[in-house]
Amino acid sequence: MGFFDSLFLCKPPPDRFAAHFIAAARRQGFEGRLEFNADEFRLEHGRNAFFNLHNAYRAYCETRGAQRDKALHSFVATLCSSGQATPALLSEAGPMLRPLIRSRSLIDEIRLHHMRTEGDASSFQAACLPFGDDCVILLAVDYPETTSTLLNGPSASWQLTLDQALRIAADNLRDHTAEAFVQVAQGVYQGAWSDGYEASRALLPDVLQRVPVRGRPVFMLPTREVLLVTGDQDEAGQLHMVELSLQASRQGRTISPAMFRYGPADAWHAAHAVPSGPDVSHFVPAGAQAARHLAHLKRLYQKEEYDTQKAAIDRLNEHAGAGVFLASYLLYGQQDDPVASFSVATWTCGVDTSLPRTDRIALVRPDADDAPGKTRVVAWQQALALLGDLVEEEALYPVRYRVRTFPDESRLALLDEAG
**320-341 confidence digits (pLDDT tens):** 777 899 999 999 988 888 899 9
The verdict on residue 121 lying in a domain is no
Question: How many structural domains are present in the chain?
Answer: 3
Whether residue 405 sits in one domain with residue 346: yes
| Beta-sheet pairing, 353-356 with 337-348 | unpaired
Q: What is the pTM of this model?
A: 0.83
- Residue 339 is part of which domain span? 305-412
Instruction: Look at residues 83, 103, 125 and tell me which one is the last residue of a structural domain.
Output: 83
Whether residue 406 sits in one domain with residue 320: yes
d(CA 215, CA 222): 22
d(CA 137, CA 273): 12
Identify whether 398 is preceded by a cis peptide bond (ω within 30 of 0).
yes
d(CA 339, CA 294): 9
pLDDT at 269: 44
Task: Write the DSSP string, 342-406.
Answer: EEEEEEETT--EEEEP-SEEEEE-TT--STT-SEEEEEHHHHHHHHGGGEEE-S-SS-EEEE-S-
Instruction: Look at residues 53, 83, 113 and tell me which one is the last residue of a structural domain.
Output: 83
Whether residue 401 sits in one domain with residue 350: yes
E strand or H helix at 253: none
pLDDT at 123: 72
Angle at 312 between CA 321 and CA 390, to 5 degrees: 70
Whether residue 317 sits in one domain with residue 253: no
Q: Which residues of the chain have pLDDT under 50?
A: 1-8, 265-275
Whether residue 408 sits in one domain with residue 309: yes
Whether residue 387 sits in one domain with residue 324: yes
The verdict on residue 169 lying in a domain is no
Whether residue 291 sits in one domain with residue 187: yes
pLDDT at 8: 43
The verdict on residue 215 lying in a domain is yes
Read off φ and ψ for residue 170, nearest 5 degrees. Answer: -65, -40
Whether residue 365 sits in one domain with residue 290: no
Whether residue 293 sits in one domain with residue 197: yes
Q: CB within 8 A of 306, min separation 6: which ones?
A: 328, 329, 356, 398
Angle at 233 between CA 229 and CA 236, to 5 degrees: 70
The verdict on residue 164 lying in a domain is no
Angle at 397 between CA 392 and CA 400, to 5 degrees: 30
Q: Which of 205, 163, 200, 146 lies closest to 28, judged by CA?
A: 146
Instruction: Look at residues 49, 83, 117 and tell me which one is the last residue of a structural domain.
Output: 83
pLDDT at 419: 67
Whether residue 313 sits in one domain with residue 229: no
pLDDT at 335: 80
Strand partners, 150: 139
Whether residue 325 sits in one domain with residue 294: no
pLDDT at 63: 81
21 burial class (0-12, 13-18, 19+ CB within 10 angstroms)? Answer: buried
Strand partners, 135: 103, 131
Whether residue 312 sits in one domain with residue 399: yes
**371, amino acid identity:** A
Reported as half-sphere exposure (CB side, CA atoms, 13 A), residue 144 has a value of 0
pLDDT at 69: 81
Q: CB within 8 A of 6, min separation 6: which ones?
A: none
